[in-house]
């Protein structure tokens, strides 16, 4: 049975392009509707009751966060996934508190997006550690690492955000700071700031040491 998906984003070209990507590369996923603001998101979900709705965080007419609250209340069986440009967006945290169960970056590779949607349909709760901890720690007093926790992975892996994991993977693949910036849409200086945080989390004193430490886990990054 195909996973029925609705896409909502106020960037018309982006949402139409994403729809085509899924139609052409994911035979198990059916895009049954697209919308361009929060009001349309709520109406589409109420009408079609999809398996998954992907929502941009910030949209006109009604924000993605407000739409999450209404969708979760009216159609709780639909899994709500936030789609955003930033990996530290406070709006995403509020959306998760309101009922969203997933968080995806707009610049992620198509195959990763398709895998993530399949995992969410199967019951996965996909959140980076920094957001999951904000949401769950106040309620439980415990730390949840988000995504698929794997005992084979080191503790530092769960301290990295989705963006940091991607940057670390590019680092392991020997991309320069400039090339990394082009691929993740960040200024070169911002990449350097990210790398400083990554080195600290990994426990590395240098670029070379970080690469050596992370190389064994590149397939998870």
Domain chopping of the chain, boundaries: 3-140, 155-220
Q: Please return the burial class of 150, using the count of CB atoms within 10 Å of its CB with bins 0-12, 13-18 and 19+.
A: exposed
Cα–Cα separations (whole angstroms), residue 177 to 157, 168, 170, 189 = 21, 11, 9, 8
DSSP 125: -
pLDDT digits (tens, 9 = 90+) for 23-74: 999 999 999 999 999 999 999 999 999 999 999 988 888 888 899 999 999 9
Fold of 3-140: Rossmann fold (3.40.50)
Runs of H (alpha helix) within 53-161: 64-74, 90-98, 110-121, 129-140
Instruction: Name the token pair of 78.
Output: 């639909």
pLDDT digits (tens, 9 = 90+) for 3-28: 999 999 999 999 999 999 999 999 99
> For residue 9, what pLDDT is reported?
94
Domain 155-220 class, CATH top level = mainly alpha
């Amino acid at each position: 049975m195909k996973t029925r998906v609705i896409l909502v984003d106020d960037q018309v070209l982006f949402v139409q392009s994403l729809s085509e990507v899924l139609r052409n590369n994911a035979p198990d996923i059916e895009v049954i509707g697209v919308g361009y603001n929060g009001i349309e998101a709520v109406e589409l979900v109420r009408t079609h009751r999809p398996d998954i709705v992907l929502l941009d965080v910030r949209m006109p007419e009604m924000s993605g966060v407000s739409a999450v609250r209404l969708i979760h209340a009216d159609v709780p069986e639909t899994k709500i996934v936030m789609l955003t440009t930033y990996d530290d967006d406070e709006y995403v945290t509020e959306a998760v508190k309101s009922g969203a169960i997933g968080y995806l970056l707009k610049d992620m590779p198509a195959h990763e997006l398709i895998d993530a949607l399949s995992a969410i349909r199967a019951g996965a709760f996909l959140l980076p550690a920094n957001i999951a901890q904000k949401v769950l720690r106040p309620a439980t007093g415990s730390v949840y690492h988000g995504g698929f926790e794997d005992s084979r992975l080191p503790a530092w892996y769960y301290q990295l955000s989705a963006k940091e994991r991607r940057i670390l993977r590019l680092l392991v693949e020997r991309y320069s700071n400039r090339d990394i910036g082009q691929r993740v849409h960040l200024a070169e200086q911002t990449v350097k700031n990210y790398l400083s945080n990554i080195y600290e989390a990994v426990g590395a004193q240098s670029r070379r040491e970080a690469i050596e430490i992370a190389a064994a886990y590149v397939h998870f990054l």
